[in-house]
Amino acid sequence: MSDAEYRLHYWPSIPGRGEYVRLVLEDAGAEYVDVVRLAADRGGALMAWMKGDRTGMLPYAPPILEHGELVLAQTAVICRYLASRHGLVPANEANRLLADQLQLTVADLVAEAHDTHHPISTGAYYEDQKPEARKRAEAFLTQRMPKYLGFFERVLERADGDGGVLGAAICYVDLSLFHSLEGLAYAFPKGFAARSGDFPRLMALRAKVAERPRLAAYLASERRLPFSEDGLFRRYPELDFV
């Protein structure tokens, strides 16, 4: 065991859903180890760890966070847990509940973005579901993405502060929104650019999050993995509808 406070287990070569956790850890300045990236056989190490004998929680899928005896899975649960420990969500219950439900709506958006390249089966290659992917991507870019982003734009308008979705200060949901916008801009350069003008507050939030000192340092570091066509957000020109 390392001496770092947190141990993150995630695929070693993609941002994926692990990135949502990394952003909270990095913004908090928390001490953590990205376990699998340090392992010799990397992906193999993750599967071996997942299947290994352990007491406590049985995790369904990565990302997984170990903190002392706790073994946490599900991105939204991990982010909320870290945020509550590191001041990235207000202490009062009403705001926490508001953040929780917004975070799950981000998760819904991300799951739909993923399914643009895997509309039929996560167990099959993209190349085996390309016609269906084109149909789903078109529906996503013309209907679903604008619906989600329009919702978050209205949330920001309503919050009416100089912070993020909760108004006064940046919270973990804002970090997740930032990464989701980065991912959408990567995956759909034309489709996203064609619509981003409709969401000025979201675009301002994206810029503001990237400027937070710890995050700016992280984003410029080698710790930040690039997007690719192995990840959650993939750039396939044939799926980029305007």
Q: Which positions touch a second copy (CB under 8 A)?
A: 57-60, 69-70, 72-74, 76-77, 81, 94, 97-98, 100-101, 104-105, 107-108, 111, 115, 119-124, 129, 132, 135-136, 139, 143-144, 148, 151, 154-155, 158
Least Cβ distance, residue 40 to a second copy (angstroms): 28
User: Is the CB of 172 or the CB of 225 nearer to a second copy?
Assistant: 172
DSSP 184-212: HHHH-HHHHHHHHTT-HHHHHHHHHHHTS
Pick 40 or 58: Cβ nearer a second copy = 58
Residue 118: which H helix or E strand, with range? none
Q: Which is nearer to a second copy, 151 or 228 (CB)?
A: 151
We find the least distance from the C-beta atom of residue 219 to a second copy, in angstroms, to be 27
CB 148 to a second copy: min, Å: 8
Q: How far is the CB of 30 from a second copy (least distance, A)?
A: 17
Amino acid making up residue 240: D
Half-sphere exposure for 75 (CA within 13 Å, toward CB) = 23
Residues 6+ apart with CB under 8 A from 78: 20, 21, 24, 63, 64, 65, 72
Element (H, E) at 229: none
In this structure, the dihedral spanned by the alpha carbons of residues 55, 48, 39 and 232, taken in order and rounded to 10 degrees, is -100
- Give the SS3 label for residue 134: helix
Q: Which is nearer to a second copy, 61 or 216 (CB)?
A: 61
- DSSP state, residue 57: -
Tell me whether residue 32 or residue 148 sits nearer to a second copy (CB atom). 148
Residue 78 beta carbon to a second copy: minimum distance, rounded to whole angstroms:
8
User: In whole angstroms, how close is the CB of 221 to a second copy at the nearest point?
Assistant: 29
- Of 4 and 139, nearer to a second copy (C-beta) is 139
Q: Which residues pair with 66 in a beta bridge?
A: 7, 71
